[in-house]
Structure 1
Amino acid sequence: MNSKILKALVPLPCLAATAVQALPIYQSNEVTLYMEGYFTAHMVNTMGATQMQNGASRIRIGLNVPAYDKWDTGFNLEWGINAISSAQNLIIQGDQQAAPGDRGESLYLRQGHAFAKHPKWGDFVIGKQWSVYYDVTYITDWYNVSGGLASGTYALGTDGGVSGTGRADSAITWRKAWKFDAGEFQVGLQYANHVADLNISVEDVAGPNTLLVCPPGDCEYGQSQGFSAVYRANIGKGLFLGVSYNRVQMDIASNNGIVLNTALNGEPLVISNDFVFDADSNDWTAAFGVYYGEGAYEKGWYAALVLDRSQNNELAPAGSVEGITNFFDAKGSESFISYTWGANNCYSIYGGHNLLRSDDNEFDRALIRENEFRLKQIYLGAQYRWNDRVKLYFENAFDSSNDVAAPVVGNFTAVGFRVDI
């Protein structure tokens, strides 16, 4: 064999890696303005088609302002970028999720918040930000293409903003960590009083051939609260234990419910606008997480598991049930395992699973097909870190979900790259 070809088959060398730092734009004694983010894209073969897809590309601008008595203040603004095609459908899930109204935008807001941090009093953050719930569920959200489907984080097919479980909307958070010889213990609290309308319509509630519609402003997501507790123990390579909980009040009540007659040809006819109903409920989810290792894609083994239990925090595809809302109670689990080696941690293999199943008898009985919602994916991938800011990856998903979950998941094979700022 030609020696030039032999040389071409040798694995690419690992370039010297250094700690990734934010890129300073302006720095003085009073402020530091910096930029972070990355560009990523992948070629994906799924559902019989191959296409280039947007990854979770983003850019973040931050300002740090040292204040009196060790206070550090400032703000962060982060935008998601659909750089490959702004009109492309979102097939891959997880951290690539945007709010429904942002999915066709080339540039959309991922985070926007102000902060004040103090070594004694903790970290206060106000605005759209990573939730305290994510302080636990992030440990399995390390896949390059998919993942994050079964922990309750990206609830209702969104970025978890309305529910407060992912990139929480209009949230106030406080986090405080205490370090001691055996490790570190951290708690987080979260509150949000934002309002998001629920577009609810239910058939045959007011009689045959009728449709009950909740008027705008009456059915909504209301107050939410979140909590997390994390312990990082100095055991071996590092042991993490964490629990988190999030609850949202769902106000589904009105004295002005609109009842439509759907038996007529053409447009439904309003027959009442004062129908009284009250179906208030709660959307809550709880998670437990554990991992061992230095971190995902760090040298040696990293193994993480998240278990989730939720009520009204998952949403089945439209048209999959009869007579009730698509919200359902669920149990979920996620895992992520990586092994990394090489002089500069260049080579990684990784894998794991996402499993989400309905745990709601009323919902299961109302399914048109199947007797439960079951989303199940197994992942297997490899990553090559060319240097500390450039990496290449290959990822497969082997899907065995049932027909109810099929519209939102599927098998895929992806090859992609990521370049950090």
Structure 2
Amino acid sequence: MKTTKLAIAVATTLLASHSAFAAQVYSGDKTTLSIGGYVDVGIGEYFETETKVHQVSPRVNIAGEKEIGNGITIDAKGEWAVNYLDGGEETFKTRLGYIGATHAQAGRLVVGTQWSPYYDVAGVADQPIAFANDFVYSNHGNLGSARADKMVSYRNSFAFSSDMSASFGLGWQGKQTDVQDTEVLVGNPGTIQVTRATTEYDTRGQIALSGEFAGFGVGYVYSGGDITDVDTNTTVDANSHVFSAKYGQYGKGIYAALVWGKNENFYKGLEETLQYEAVAAFGLDNGWNFIVNYEAVDDDKTDKTQFSESAVQVEYTVAPGFVTFAAYQFDLGNDINVTENDYWTLGARYFF
């Protein structure tokens, strides 16, 4: 694999390990085209209080690559979430859509909706199929904490030896407005009333730094920018500092990752929060992978836990491209009087 293609693979698929399968449908004249994604189904109480058939996060994508000379490779990707269990309602929803340019020495530039530099650091524990860190996906499109909407990003890496490297990433999002409609039942016998909340996001920026040595990795990321509640004309700085550490490769032997974050106004209605995530996994050569993880978010100002949970999970690769999974998540409680629920699921994922 050429260095430029390796850089693209690392930046676009390694961090989302369950998205790495794709079938090449065309190759010629320094151009390739591939189709990828997966479908999954499960049965259980998966964020529901009753046992149901459910899906986890199926998606389909189309990706292309073209070498244009001078060591530059251009790539483009479109990816859509697929809803195939609800009678065709809202069947496709955009997940990714970008064009990128990669050079072995100059680095990688990407424009569009994409996995952010913030996620490069904060997403190291987001590995299991069923239950993983939820906090990075809270309003992630606007805040750029996972799949960032309308982002410009730049990344580069420097190898000092065969097992020692350093990387950095920059992300920028322009001003955007988010409108949320909420249906509320009011009156007796009751009518549906729609309330509308409008939030304006000012220009946002983020910087991520990471390093790897002998299988260990550490990272830090900062994200910041103002957000305005139009209804109350209130503006605050929504910022986040996240540190992470990891060891190993998920699914192959021992893998462990820790994430710690300190935030201001990053979660709606909470001025100061602390977030924690830990995952430990042991993958065997015969396809079994055993996982335990923990996640919590605390209100740092009031010292009240917003949620805390832990899961035990197992994944089994029956054949390349086909994985079964079983998981049980324990609700460890909170300090805001929200009903506590444990969840479980049994399922399978098919990559194509």
TM range (shorter): 0.7 to 0.9
Structure-to-structure mapping, 1:114-129, within 5 angstroms = 114-129=99-114
**Is 1:106 aligned with 2:91?**
yes
**Is 1:189 aligned with 2:155?**
no
Partner of 1:314: 267
Q: Deviations over 1:259-281 (max 9, x none)?
A: xxxxxxxxxxxxxxxxxx75321
Mapped contact 1:169–1:194 kept (Cα < 8 A): no
Structure-to-structure mapping, 1:263-342, within 5 angstroms = 279-293=234-248, 295-298=249-252, 300-315=253-268, 326-342=269-285
Helix, strand or coil at the partner of 2:131: coil
Mapped contact 1:399–1:410 kept (Cα < 8 A): yes
TM-score scaled by length of structure 2: 0.84
- Over 6 Å off, 4+ runs: none
Q: Deviations over 1:12-55 (max 9, x none)?
A: xxxxxxxx752111221142111111111211225541001111
For residues 35 and 337 of structure 2, what CA distance do their matches in structure 1 show?
Answer: 39
* CA positional deviation for 1:86: 5.9
* CA positional deviation for 1:252: 4.4
1:244 corresponds to which of 217, 221, 227: 221
For residues 105 and 354 of structure 1, what CA distance do their matches in structure 2 show?
Answer: 30
Unaligned residue ranges in structure 1 (runs of 5+): 1-19, 88-103, 201-214, 258-276, 316-325, 365-371
Partner of 1:348: 289
Larger displacement relative to structure 2 (37-46 or 71-80): 37-46
Partner of 1:51: 52
Which amino acid counterpart does residue 356 of structure 1 have in structure 2? V
Structure-to-structure mapping, 1:93-172, within 5 angstroms = 105-150=90-135, 153-156=136-139, 160-172=140-152
Mapped contact 2:21–2:351 kept (Cα < 8 A): no
Which amino acid counterpart does residue 170 of structure 1 have in structure 2? K
**Is 1:225 aligned with 2:180?**
no
Unaligned residue ranges in structure 2 (runs of 5+): 1-19, 182-195
Which amino acid counterpart does residue 273 of structure 2 have in structure 1? A
* CA positional deviation for 1:352: 1.3
Which amino acid counterpart does residue 22 of structure 1 have in structure 2? A
TM-score scaled by length of structure 1: 0.71
Mapped contact 2:291–2:312 kept (Cα < 8 A): yes
Q: 1:194 to 1:27 in 2, by over 3 A?
A: farther
* CA positional deviation for 1:355: 0.9
Partner of 2:65: 64
* CA positional deviation for 1:403: 6.2
Mapped contact 2:54–2:85 kept (Cα < 8 A): yes
* CA positional deviation for 1:327: 3.6
Partner of 2:13: none
Q: Deviations over 1:119-166 (max 9, x none)?
A: 11100000000010000122100121122224xx2124xxx0011111
Which amino acid counterpart does residue 390 of structure 1 have in structure 2? F
For residues 240 and 77 of structure 2, what CA distance do their matches in structure 1 show?
Answer: 27
Mapped contact 2:49–2:341 kept (Cα < 8 A): no
Q: 1:48 to 1:161 in 2, by over 3 A?
A: closer
**Structure having the higher Rg:** 1
Helix, strand or coil at the partner of 1:143: coil
Larger displacement relative to structure 2 (129-138 or 141-150): 141-150
For residues 40 and 199 of structure 1, what CA distance do their matches in structure 2 show?
Answer: 29
Q: Deviations over 1:229-269 (max 9, x none)?
A: 11011x2xx0011111111211346xxx7xxxxxxxxxxxx
Helix, strand or coil at the partner of 2:123: helix
For residues 27 and 376 of structure 1, what CA distance do their matches in structure 2 show?
Answer: 48
Partner of 1:381: 313
Question: How many residues are treated as equivalent by the alignment?
Answer: 319
Mapped contact 1:354–1:376 kept (Cα < 8 A): yes
Q: Deviations over 1:353-379 (max 9, x none)?
A: 011111124xx7xxxxxxx34211011
Q: Deviations over 1:281-309 (max 9, x none)?
A: 1111111110111x1111x2111110111
Helix, strand or coil at the partner of 2:250: coil
